[in-house]
Amino acid sequence: MRARLLAGLFVAASIPANAADAPAPAVPLAGVREACESIGGRLGSVEIHECLDAGLKIGDGASVRGEPLMYRDYLPRSRRAVPHRVLLLGGIHGDEFSAVSVVFDWMQRLQHERFQPFYWRVIPSANPDGLLSHPATRMNAHGVDLNRNFPTPNWKADAMAYWIGRTRRDPRRYPGPSALSEPETRWLLQQIRSFHPDAIVSVHAPYGVLDYDGPHDPPQQFGYLRLHLLGTYPGSLGNYAGVNMNLPVITLELPHAGIMPTPAQSQRIWGDMLAWLQQNLPEKKPAPLYMRLPDVSWDAE
């Protein structure tokens, strides 16, 4: 994909008064083709055919507005007996266009890399309503920041207090009326619980840094992104999975929300990340056969 400006304006939106009133659709109101046409129409660096060729599947549930929540599994291509599992997320904030685009770019790499050792689950657009809004929004269609809606300990006491006291009721960081109030967050939590990742990678923009939560010494640099710990927040994915589940949670903050990294920059981030994961994830012991068989998606490739 070419590095170029991605169309869109990035503005704050107010919180709807009836944010929690309208129930989300139980099933998606669009299929993969319709979703890819919408994504390709919004992003300047993801063509419709690239989205369709990615082999995305529709998960259970849907966004607030009925957009499908899509994913793709990639099986390892190495001979490691028990591969590590990595969950890769893009676009949990809908107005961070480059975070979605670069994940589509990396999906093409996963499709063609011959010896990659990991079992991946990739979710390129975790907040499709925010992405497809006009203008795009950080929050979902309920006006909730999905990255403040995860069920961290003491969420009820801490999340709202932080929003009021520290952000001065910034609508872009509204944590929601309750933890897991949003269908997108509930679906992401379901993916974590069903996929059992050994590490999570979440792509954001536009701070231009590498952030980390969890065990092990943090990586110091992936490509041109250098380590800068941003802290943990009530309801954030890093707090929930990194601090409380003790999983490595890598947050890649690209420097621009509307401009892709160059191909060389993207490749260097990807290569450094793979090397760190290989060196730092501990060896896994084989699970009993009856536990392993149901987990394998044999048609994932």
Q: How far is Cα 249 from Cα 152, in angstroms, rounded to an integer?
A: 15
What pLDDT is stored for residue 81 in this prediction? 72
The catalytic position among 67, 96, 182, 253 is 253
Q: Would you give per-residue pLDDT tens digits along the chain (301 residues)?
A: 444 334 433 333 333 333 344 455 667 889 999 999 999 999 999 999 999 999 999 999 899 999 999 999 999 987 767 899 999 999 999 999 999 999 999 999 999 988 889 999 999 999 999 999 999 999 999 999 999 999 999 999 999 999 999 999 999 999 999 999 999 999 999 999 999 999 999 999 999 999 999 998 999 999 999 999 999 999 999 999 999 999 999 999 999 999 999 999 999 999 999 999 999 998 777 655 544 444 444 344 3
pLDDT of 78: 78
Query: Which residue's entry shows tokens 């536009």?
Result: 206
Q: Cis before residue 151, ω within 30 degrees of 0?
A: no
pLDDT at 77 (0 to 100):
86
Our CA angle for 28, 34, 38, nearest 5°, is 105
Task: Please report the pLDDT score of residue 62 as a whole number.
Answer: 96
* Model pLDDT, residue 25: 61
Q: Structural domains in the chain?
A: 32-282 (3.40.630.10)
Active site residue 96: no
pLDDT of residue 27: 79
* Residue 296, pLDDT score: 44
